[in-house]
Structure 1
Amino acid sequence: MAPPIDPEYAERVREVYGLTCLPRWGTRRNFDRPTLGGKAAKVSKALGSPYMPWQRYTADIGLEIDLDTGLLAYRGVDLTVPRQSGKTTTVLSVAVHRANAWQRQRILYGAQTGTAAREKWEDEHLPILEAAKAFQGRYRVRKANGREAILWTRTRSIHTLTTNKEQAGHGRILDLALLDEYFAQVDYRLDQATGPAMITRANAQKWRLSTAGTSRSVPFNQMRARGRAAVEQGRQSKIAYLDWCALPGMDRTDPAVWRTCMPALCPAPVRGVCRCSKDWRHTVTDDAIFGELESMADDLSDFDRAYLNIAREDGEVDRDPNVPTPEEWGLLADPESLGTGVVAIAIDITPKRDHAVIVGAGFDPLGLPRIVVLEYGEGTGWLRESIERWHTKLKPVAWVLDEKSPAATMVLPMDRAGIPRMKERKEDWHRGHLWIPTVPQFGAACGDFTDAVRQGQLVHLDQPELTVAIDGAASRPIGDGLWAWGRKIASVDISPLVGASLALAALLRFQDLANPPQVAVAASTPATTGDMYRPAGRLTI
């Protein structure tokens, strides 16, 4: 259910922005924070499209500055509005501002497909930019197929396009990702491609923008579900969420309903024309919406999707029954959870060896297993040094990896680093050795992980690497009733999920190898020992 609108806040927003149509679900503007929204607004005006109130409101929230760090307060902005609201100019102004505000920025724009992104870029972005006198002589355009870019000469920033392939954002750092028409994504490959490229960039942001899709728009629908839940719970998030929409069952023919969900629709037209300001105009009129309603009379669900921003039901999406739902996973999130000194650590590497992950499992003060992605990064070259560092720092009860995966290449280096393979007999087990589970044990670890999630028997830090992995995971049979995570059939990199499952299994199997005081602490009182309080190293969230 949509949260009620705070009259005091609504009045202040009206006074500051002239905005009468607040998002039905939305991150609130923190007026104590400075913002770069005004800078983006000046860019948009120079591009010939002065911001409407909703655009300035969105930019001010999305570009808020954290007073403690001096960096952007949000790592991401998820925005969903009806069609023809002005997303194109919003996206372009944010990109141009970024390219000129800092040196050597790498900006990526994506749409439904690589072809659609190029068409949008050629037909809309470039003409707007070329018509803006304020930016003449400050950039050059490269149109070579597959290498399209806007190159900014003063800052040496580059604004490129994505091909919508899994490798689209790999290989280079990325400061700003703009994923337009996000409803068209059927899997998480764009998120998986862009996310790791932004990890090391302190001021990086990912903007996901879209009108509602259908029930098959799984990434968009999960984005919307998580954003709405965060707003309803009043939960602090590193992703700003803004959702302008009507609710199912509202009267689609009533202009009063339109004015609750269409921020680009003039609230008080004079003889059908917006006169709200001499500097800008609302771009949508009642007559235009009535015309669209009439033209879509044969399939009103299309009107609801396009202009009321209500997702169209388009058949059920089959979910793998072995994979926890995003809702089940989200219920166990606790970004403030503290850890104790009992830790097991897993390593996993993707089939292409383009990414690797180190995942820890420990206990929270109440004795619940606590999952943390310690490091996630490109390639595997960094693994050996990181393994040695975490081994010294956390003194895990055990390490674990799947020997039938690419991670098997780490067995010999770990042995040389003083982390030998765990013996088979329990009486020969030693703390800090490497456990290599059998195929049945690996299958059991996957099943036990799902059971723990569904029974509420673990906590996690709400890290995006794990959330994305679970959203795109799939299972494969490995025997009579046993199953394991399927790397080749998943729509994303699931190495964080594989690592989490193995780490949890190792923790529960070898926890008795910890010193008795640590076990007692894990089961009863908060601990101040150990370093699993926050993710560290290559992963910065």
Structure 2
Amino acid sequence: MSTWGDEAIDLMATVGVTLDPGQRETICDGMSEGADRKWLASEVADVEPRQNGKGVILETRALSGLLLVKEPLIIWTAHEFKTAHQGFMRMRHYFDNYDHLRKRVRTIRSSTHSTEIILKTGQTLAFLARSGGSGRGFAGVSPLFLDEAFALTAEQVAAIMYATSAAANPQVWYMSSAPLADSEVLRETCKRGRRGARGLVYYEWSARGRYDDLFKLVEQNKALSDEDEDTAEGQELRGRLFAAVAEANRAFGIRISESSILREVRATGVEQFLRERLGVYSELETGAAIDAERWKKLGDPESRRDGDVAIAVDIAPERDWAAIGLYGHRADDLGHVQLIHYGPVAGLLDKIAEYRDALDPVAVGMARGTYASLREDLKKRGIIRPEDRGDDDEPSRSDDKDPRRGDLVVLGGTDMAAACGQILDATKESTIRHVPAKQLDDAVGVGKTRRTGESIAWARTDRAVDITALVAVTEARWSFYARRDAKPREDEYDPLGNIF
């Protein structure tokens, strides 16, 4: 076994860059070869907080790939073009300002169509912003840099990863801060790294300790006033915080100062600070959007609704299971969440009608797809949308389109995104309580989100994961607030009630 690492480190010294110990280790491990001159690791991942020198690692790998290993095509990608362009500008600085590099350059292109450095030997370093189609025109790429890997999507990986397949000695580098809730690709990479997967060099920098304990530590430091900071207790809290920062940030005390840390604590949310500065994130194993421990604490077997409720219906994409969720308020004004039915789709219409008659809900909610499949059968049972009232075959007053109790409310894409965000917020803020139910708890344990424009919604791409119960209670909560002022149903309507 050998490594290009030492030569790569020496090469960077010729452009005035001295790597710190962590950077040197990553380069030496990532550029190790076997007896067959192939990379021992086809993948390298470095997951750590910001401003700790991940960019220098990529610069070192790129420069040594061009000048030492003689790799023909290196592609550097990032989530946003401005990040990829920053990498380009740093690399261009080296080639523009050092004679031993400048004399090797054939051309440097920088435009909206092409950003690349091409050597006289034809070797190329190209910079791209990732998209669903970026990278499809390339072949024989190695190494491939996936900067800002927290934003990687499966579609982007499919578009660009296959560009490495024809390379003689392929290698992919993931560089990122800690995963976000919807960072499915990076979370899977972290899982493989923590398991010690073969062919993957994995570095993760984070503070030690339980998530809840670190959350409390940051929360206490965030609440510390200037006066309290000078007390013995305040100094102890600050010391513990700085110790956690030092564990996760090799640049602490060098490029990152204590004053910068305090500014970040005051200006950002607790979860953001945990992820971005301490490298700590919850639910690594599932990537679930709702923290399992938090959800468990919100469970209350004795929870009871007090007053009006809404119900909502969801059917699994494979149409094998269906769920009915309920939402209302408790006597203490906290939200009450309950799964009231989970079973086969057969018999679902009877259940909907049964709960509608028994509970007199302010609304019966469902998404467009569910509504489309049940519309005619619901109509036969008198369960319709307010806007459909007055059809020729409906024995209802045609001049009243106002929502009534028990009417349908159909959630569109924007509504579903809003409903998802609202129940996530309610969970984080502990403003709801739920009656524990296995199907609902299981769904929460695996429920992930996907991006839809500038919002998020529940992801249903994995057919092996059933989140029907979670979607049903999510829709029920939204329906409750959308229709809580609905009028009584027509069979309860008194035409003389408004005559004085």
What TM-score do the two structures reach when normalised by structure 2? Answer: 0.49
Q: Which has the higher contact order (CA 8 A, sep 6+)?
A: 1
Structure with the larger helix share: 2
Structure exhibiting the larger radius of gyration computed from Cα positions: 2
What TM-score do the two structures reach when normalised by structure 1? Answer: 0.46
